[in-house]
Amino acid sequence: MRPFQVKAFAISAVLALAAVLCLVPRAGAQGIDTALLRGTVADSSGAVIPGATVTMTNVATGVSEKRPTSDAGRYLFADLKAATYTARVEAAGFKTLIRENIVLRVGQETDLDLQLEVGEISQQVEVTAESPQLNTVSGALGTEVSGQYMINMPLEGRDYSGLVFLAPGTTEVANGGPVGSILGGTGFASNGQRYATAEFRLDGGLETNPEGGEGGTTNLQYKPIVEAIQEFKLQNNSFSAEYGSNGGTIVSMVMKSGTNQFHGSAYEFFRRPELDANNFFSNAAGQPIGPYAIDQTGGTIGGPIRKNKTFFFFDYEHDRDTAPGTTVSSVPTALQKQGNFSQTYNQDGSLNVIYNPFNQSCQGEVCTRVPFPGNIVPASMFNSIGQNIMNLYPAGNTAGQPLTGLENFTASYVYPNPGYQLDIKIDHNFSDNNRVFARYSRNITTSYTPDDFYAPQVSYYRTNEGAVADTWTINPSMQWTNRLNFHRFYNVFGVTPTVSPESLGFSKALYDNPWYETPNTLPDIAVIGYQGLVTDACCTTSLETDTQWTFDSVVDKVVGAHELRFGGERRIFLNNSFQPSDTNGGFEFNPAQTMQSNV
């Protein structure tokens, strides 16, 4: 198979909505990693107050944004970070209003009307008790999950992908396995749409990319650690048109940022055999769990580089994951290795008769074979290579199924998957009208699969990501946001053979080819109904790389009582894959070779 490259290009524009929005008196939209807040400033009689100044201050960072009210007394903040705010409203001839504890969530769109009292501007009216802000602007449906909730939940492997099922209308995929193990976490169906088409975004930037070689499904190759997530929200209905390049589901994650106070955490999650129950099949076979150790150790720290101006957040996690696993398979019995099938039965209890392919009578193309006497293959017909291959099989260690004796081998393995990951995020505020953030993320994992007989597999994964975004408030009625994301995924995998083909009698000419890289690698040997010896893309190191660039630019413009949004997004996805199969050849043995008829 030759390397191939796929380039994907997508542009999503919302220009056509402008005309519609102009006709709707209360239409709003905002970046899905931020919140929208709007309202009217009026006096006690209900008369609107134009020219008032509304200031929203992030309590944790001290960063403020200001907006004047329009001639209709309206104000709009289209791109506030999810946080707790204090609102300050000032207007000549009125007391200053201070309203505290305004909590905004990711993707939230809400109205907050503010009322001023007549008096001196030096006088203050403080309101501290506030009810939760509701999503009053948009009809988008979604479910929010806070970072503290994720930390407190006993998540297996500290993988929060399964929490998507907290959202109504989100279901598992039949026979798909855990959601976190499929396509990195997108293997679920939402709102009646096709599975594995969800779109994940981190701080507004695209995290998912097309699955390599497929394109119709999405893949999430990097997930921040639980302690780094401030919150995430799953939306599966009526979200903004700019996020329509998916199969009906948007999962927006927001990473924590530094604040004016230093904050940090340290943790250790672990599993040991003494704390786990044995696997059912291992327990039935009398085999213990076996030694293993799972440790997830890490920490976070965030704080100011310059108070009210520049902040940092850093997290790191190291994983020692030697997870337990159990394999139940079928191996030849001691009699079968000797060519004796007198005790080999079918599921209905009848003898599984073995026929001699060299003793047959034919009528045309149809041949009828004669069974071996006593259902025993004579040693004189044994092939030396075949006998050596047969002797590679371990002895069965359980009775297996009734009558057939299949599934007579149970083994416990340890699957080492060591790795680490980190994120570093910098937020900087050039002024009240311009802010920027940058993030770098890295993940490295090595995965060992020891249960493929005589050809354990090793996979190495490396992911590097970067993102930078700038939000510029050009004037009180116009805001421009630009965001650039980079994603690079690298995966190399192959086998680590333990038996030489030549030691079994194979000729070196069998694997004398330009793709052969790994010495002592067997051909692919598949035995129908029994465990194969080498069964996965033998014998060349395979490689896959994904590179994705995403750029989006959005302008929000307030015209009277309306907010218009213009923008576009460009995606460039490059996928390279090199995975030749069976470069040392392959052998398949099936019942057709010893059946009564060749048809």
Structure tokens, 547: 């590179």
Looking from the CA of 97 toward its CB, the CA atoms found within 13 Å total 23
In DSSP notation, 531-561 reads --SB-SSTTS-EEEEEEEEEEEEEEEEEETT
Q: pLDDT tens for residues 271-310?
A: 888 888 887 777 777 777 777 888 999 999 999 999 999 9
Between CA 387 and CA 356 the distance in angstroms is 18
Residue 257 · residue 302 · CB < 8 Å: yes
Can you say whether residue 118 is alpha, beta or left, with left for phi > 0 and alpha for psi between -120 and 50 degrees?
A: beta
pLDDT at 214: 65
* Residue 82 amino acid letter: A
- Please state, in angstroms and rounded to a whole number, the distance separating the CA atoms of residues 594 and 599: 11
> What's the predicted TM-score (pTM) here?
0.79
Q: pLDDT 10s per residue in the chain (599 long)? A: 333 333 333 333 333 333 333 333 333 334 467 888 989 999 989 999 999 999 999 999 999 999 999 888 999 898 899 899 999 999 999 999 999 999 998 888 888 999 999 998 888 888 875 555 555 455 455 678 888 888 888 887 788 888 888 888 888 776 555 555 556 778 788 877 777 888 889 998 899 888 776 667 788 889 999 999 998 888 876 667 777 676 678 888 999 999 999 999 999 998 888 888 887 777 777 777 777 888 999 999 999 999 999 999 999 999 988 877 788 889 999 999 999 999 999 999 999 999 999 998 888 888 899 999 999 999 999 999 989 988 888 899 888 899 999 999 988 888 888 999 999 999 999 988 899 999 999 999 998 888 666 677 888 999 999 999 999 999 888 899 999 999 999 998 877 777 778 888 888 777 676 665 555 677 888 888 888 776 655 667 788 899 999 999 999 888 877 778 888 899 999 998 887 777 777 888 888 889 998 77
DSSP states along 269-312: EEE-GGGSPPPHHHHHTT-------EEEEEEEEEEEEETTTEEE
pLDDT at 43: 93
pLDDT of residue 19: 32
> Which residues make beta-bridge pairs with 80?
35
Start-to-end C-alpha separation, the chain: 33
* Beta bridge mates, 185: none
How high is the pLDDT of residue 244? 66
Query: E strands of 383-518, at which residues?
Result: 409-416, 419-431, 434-449, 457-475, 478-495
Helix (H, G, I), strand (E, B) or coil at 400: coil
Measured CA to CA, the distance from residue 157 to residue 161 in angstroms comes to: 11
Beta bridge partners of 401: none
For residues 41 and 96, the answer to whether their CB atoms sit within 8 Å is no
The structure tokens listed for 102 are: 């305004």
Interior/surface letters 410-427, b for 16+ CB within 10 angstroms, e for the rest: bbbbbebbebebbbebbb
* In contact, 441 and 402? CB cutoff 8 Å: no
DSSP-assigned letter for residue 81: E
